[in-house]
Structure 1
């Protein structure tokens, strides 16, 4: 579990992180979102003991990172896909990391296999694309099979197939009971993988909620050749219905219930569209409001 409690960091007169609090729980992928300069990376670096907080606490499994006895076994992190020796192969890089952490060398090949780099194990990192470096960073982060994973922009440089793989990879880890905290600008991807979302701007938390609570279904737009019959059936089912420009605007029931109501009265549906507020809509609304208030 990750617990951030009233975390604050000042750099001179700049307050990069301002009283941030949130919890990332086991078995969930938590999306940590915000515009550039929101304080996301600084918060992650404080979690990992790379930056000292001005005040507040950042805890992993109830302890500061510096207090963990074998941190590589408890938390894996990939903050940037750099720092590799360009002349070293992927396998040798991970073997060196294993030796430094006191891990069996077999973990290097296991991590390469898990991240889809087995065929590139003996290639030098200098020839790796950004997406391959991202995978190598993930392989290194998971060498100790930690139960907490902290990632900063892991989809950067990945192609569509790589992004799909990353989604499945993170969902698998969460399914195994891991705590996964992911900072990302790829909102559409976060929407597909996250259970919980924390949105920050200007160093402050704007929203901390389950994804399902943020991304809500809106009205259903229905077109049919029998609008009156369908309207009555839907109202009998507890829906709110209003007619507008030859369409029915329906709320209070889902698309399946509309379909069943249409079947019951023999109405032919020629259009059925579900409107919804996506994560991007929520993100832009919150961050624009914050930026407007602070200007």
Structure 2
């Protein structure tokens, strides 16, 4: 059983179909990036998981149960949906202390959580004076308070500076890879997602368009592409094709599949063709995202 299971989930708001038959899973010990353009249905999916939205059909389960069926939800699921739902007059410590009391958790966890997210020095400061980045860290501390093994994070990097984003990246890896938690994270920062997640789920207009491991998604369809420049592309291309290469020629540049760098170099040498460039192209998440959704960044 997967830690998070979304099965044929659908939800409409009036005439708008926000989520349309979406299915995917998140396993323990992995980080899954949930991506899509603005309005694609990401937040509706996450809110359905947390029982804040009632789906029209399908299911959204945590550890095999709906959120409302969990006996001790804060000890099973940690969530960050927005960093604005704090009482401005409370201190960071008092906010977490109230959460601990309400959930029958040891109050000592309040200070432990503040330590873990780097807010120990401002634990006595009122939230009213917090920056957006500090509020994000406090939201993460709230998610940690029950020491759950499932995390649902909606745009957790909002408001964080570059150092904070780097810290968040390492923090999510620690939760998943070191502690075995399942982490589902929605983000619009594609470059950061690409450095953090193990798997990717992409939706557009409420529908699933692709899911799989990040490595497979950005691997150019499974075959590396070698970019080759030479003064004689018209001579080299047919030689490469005779050896099983798939060759595209555009603007004097060859893009070659099914042959490695060493094989291309050997063929060029045999045909007395001088190469001025030979590099392996890496796929990137942004390119794949734009191709799949036909829209801007999520």
**Following the alignment from structure 2 to structure 1, what is the Cα–Cα distance between the partners of residues 215 and 281?**
15
Distance 1:142 1:269 in 2: 55
Q: 1:86 offset after TM fit, Å?
A: 1.1
- SS of 2:216's partner is helix
Residue equivalent to 1:41: 43
Give, in whole Å, the separation in 1 of the partners of 2:37 and 2:107: 40
SS at match of 2:6: strand
Which whole-Å CA distance do the structure 2 matches of 1:240 and 1:29 have between them?
35
- Residue from 252, 262, 268 that aligns with 2:258: 252
Deviation, structure 1 residue 43: 0.9
Superposition TM-score, scaled by structure 1 size: 0.85
- Which residue is equivalent to 1:205? 208
1:33-69 CA deviation, whole Å, 9 max, x = no partner?
A: 1111111111111110011111111110000001111
- 2:187 corresponds, among 178, 184, 190, to 184
Which residue, 173, 176, 180 being the options, matches 1:174?
176
Report matched runs for 1:208-247 at 5 Å: 208-217=211-220, 218-222=224-228
Q: CA deviation at 1:95?
A: 1.1
Superposed, which structure 2 residues align to 1:1-295 within 5 Å?
1-175=3-177, 176-217=179-220, 218-222=224-228, 249-252=255-258, 271-288=277-294
Alpha-carbon distance change, 3 to 246 in structure 1, aligned in 2, over 3 angstroms: closer
Aligned length: 289
Matches of 1:95 and 1:136 in 2, distance apart? Answer: 12
| Cα distance in structure 1, aligned partners of 2:200 and 2:257 | 26
Report the alpha carbon displacement of residue 245 of structure 1 after superposing the two structures with TM. 7.9
Runs of 4+ in 1 over 2 A off after TM superposition: 220-225, 237-262, 268-274
TM-score, scaled to structure 2 = 0.84
Q: CA deviation at 1:221?
A: 2.6
Unaligned ranges ≥5, structure 1: 263-267, 290-295
CA distance in 1, matches of 2:266, 2:138: 50
In structure 2, the partner of 1:292 is: none
**C-alpha displacement at 1:260, in angstroms?**
11
Q: Report SS of the residue matched to 1:123.
A: coil
- Deviation readout 1:221-257 (Å, 9 max, x if unpaired): 35699x9xx99xx99x987678988876543366699
The alpha-carbon deviation at position 274 of structure 1 amounts to: 2.5
The structural deviation recorded for 1:145 is 0.7
Q: Deviations over 1:241-289 (max 9, x none)?
A: 7898887654336669989999xxxxx9874433223111111111118
How far apart are the structure 2 equivalents of 1:54 and 1:72?
25
Assess, with a 3 A threshold, how the Cα gap between structure 1 residues 258 and 114 changes in structure 2: closer, same or farther.
Answer: farther
